[in-house]
Structure 1
Amino acid sequence: MTNSFMAFAITRNRGRKLYDFIYYFLISAMFIPFNIIMLPLVKQVSFFHMDNVPGLIILYIVMGLPMNIFLYSGYIKSIPTALDEAATIDGANTFQMFYKVIFPTLKPMNATVAILTFLWCWNDFTMPLVIISDQKNQTLQLAQYVFKGEFATDYSLAFASYLLALLPIVIFYLFAQKQVISGVTNGAVKA
């Protein structure tokens, strides 16, 4: 919800220098590969003692912000500003307008952002590898790396773990699929 609220504020105030700067600053962060910032990030994370699972979650939130803002702002541009004006005339403040009028309209984009973010976080191998220092806090993808040895690979255990890693993604997508499909069909019909 915070990413969509920030995208709403930026999108509705485009044309002002500050909001344009914030938008382009966030979008420019998408073009920096993780491999470039990996070493300084590891040093900062270890300095702040964030080399654990909560620290990894905070990093995923911060590093996912540019892409989420980009997706939300593109969708919010298609929502007419007449809805904002009608809510303002009815006496709603900015937060009420967003929460009661705009946010329900964002259901398809919320599902899309949730699926993309979940896929990215769930399948990520590099960031947990370099950030998490304690071996007992490994993610499932890091634990799968153990099955591949230097001279042999335990395929039965490896494929069982691959199935376990795939199952939550499929279940999550099945629940969010209806929203994504309705968003695609609604977007095709808009004039």
Structure 2
Amino acid sequence: MRSKTNWWLTALLAVLSLTVLIPLYFVVVTALKTPDQLGGSGFALPTEVRWENFADAWRMTNFPRAALNSALVTVGAVVLTLLTNSMVAYAIARNRHRRFFRILFIYFVSALFVPFPILMLPVAKQTAFLGLDNQAGLILLYVVYGLSFNIFIFTAYIRSIPRELEEAAVIDGASTWTVFWRIIFPLLMPMNATVGILTCLWAWNDFLLPLVIVSAPEAATLPLVQHAFQGTFQTNYTVAFASYLMAMAPLLIVYVFAQRWVISGVTQGAVK
């Protein structure tokens, strides 16, 4: 019975993997074609490989500057998210018996159900008024908008950590600040990896928030400059897909090196 179940599960996973592999194959094949080859089957291999698509994408998007902007925003958002969200979650998790912190937890979690388009225009006007229509404003907004979900998963994990560890440190003379950074924060590494990867994916690939917030063209991130391939009457698909592959490569490298921590964080959070 178990072998039959495993067989069906393997087959199901193989079929579901096609939902990722087939679009990825289509992107790679299109990025290597010439515009004249797009008229045939989209899944056919290119008869003539055109590597110049990547050079054109590099030049048309000013890829180094856009990638640097995306990297600054992504790294800043990840670092600030891990430092601030974990502290807020720790304060809530260890004080859930108090009414104020229970209400605070509900308030943060309820923000998950507020769609961003409702807040889009007020946030755009406010950031412009405060002079935060740049990379710094993007970093702050990613930290704030990720707070609800991150607190939700951080709090559940922190509550599984025995209080005796903290009590022993307090008896030895450690302050609350020392307890968090010396004991709790190192134990949060699986969750930190999970939150860090999710924040990294969000900040690197996001298009709507930079479109609304960023005003200066020189501060545009990769998704914004890739919008340049969309013309009034047509789209340069071959160069656009080459640009998408170039933008996807750094995240694939990050995930390859961090996947074991991500999977560990997800499974531990689910069990505990």
Aligned to 2:161, the other structure's residue is in SS state: coil
Q: How many residues align?
A: 190
Secondary structure in 2 matching 1:30: helix
Check if 1:84 corresponds to 2:156: no
Match of 1:153 in 2: 235
Question: Matches of 1:14 and 1:188 in 2, distance apart?
Answer: 20
- SS, match of residue 180 in structure 1: helix
Identity of aligned residues (%): 56
Q: Corresponding residue for 1:180?
A: 262
SS in 1 for 2:146: helix
Q: 1:35: how far off? A: 0.3
Alignment check: 8 A CA contact 2:193 2:262 kept: yes
Q: Which moved more, 1:6-15 or 1:53-62?
A: 53-62
Distance of 1:144 and 1:126 partners within structure 2: 13
What does the per-residue CA deviation read over 1:26-46, in whole Å, with 9 as the maximum and x for residues that have no partner? 112221110000111111111
SS of the aligned residue for 1:150 comes to coil
Correspondence for 1:59:
141
Structure 2: gaps spanning 5 or more residues = 1-82
Deviation at 1:184, TM superposition (A): 4.8
Following the alignment from structure 2 to structure 1, what is the Cα–Cα distance between the partners of residues 207 and 269? 34
- Unmatched segments (≥5 aa) in structure 1: none
How far apart are the structure 2 equivalents of 1:156 and 1:27? 42
**Local SS of the residue matching 1:15:** coil
Is 2:191 the counterpart of 1:109?
Answer: yes
Measure the CA separation in 2 of the matches of 1:127 and 1:188: 30
State how far apart, in whole Å, the 2-side matches of 1:181 and 1:97 are: 27
State the one-letter code of the partner of 2:197.
I
**2:191 is the counterpart of 1:132:** no
| TM-superposed deviation, 1:163 | 0.9
- 2:244 is aligned with 1:162: yes
Q: State the Cα distance separating 1:50 from its structure 2 match.
A: 1.3
The superposition leaves residues 52-96 of structure 1 with CA deviations (integer Å, 9 ceiling, x where unpaired) of 121111111111112211121111121122222222222221111
* TM-score normalised by the chain length of structure 1: 0.91
Contact 2:194–2:266 under 8 Å retained in 1: no
1:60 alignment partner AA: Y
Structure 1 runs, 4 residues or longer, greater than 4 Å off: 184-190
Q: Give the whole-Å Cα distance in 1 for the aligned partners of 2:92 and 2:211.
A: 34
2:226 match: 144
User: How far, CA to CA, are the matches of 2:270 and 2:260 in structure 1?
Assistant: 16
Distance (Å, rounded) in 1 between the aligned partners of 2:96 and 2:232: 54
Shift of 1:180: 2.2
Q: Which stretch has the larger CA shift, 26-35 or 151-160?
A: 151-160
The one-letter code sitting in structure 2 at the alignment partner of 1:31 is F
AA in 1 matched with 2:173: G
TM-score, normalization by structure 2: 0.65
Q: Which residue of 1 aligns with 2:98?
A: 16
For 1:2 and 1:136, how far apart are their aligned partners in 2?
A: 29
Secondary structure of the 1:50 match is: coil
2:202 matched to 1:120? Answer: yes
| Bigger Cα displacement from structure 2, 175-184 vs 105-114 | 175-184
CA distance in structure 2 between the partners assigned to 1:188 and 1:151 by the alignment:
48
Counterpart in the other structure of 1:49: 131
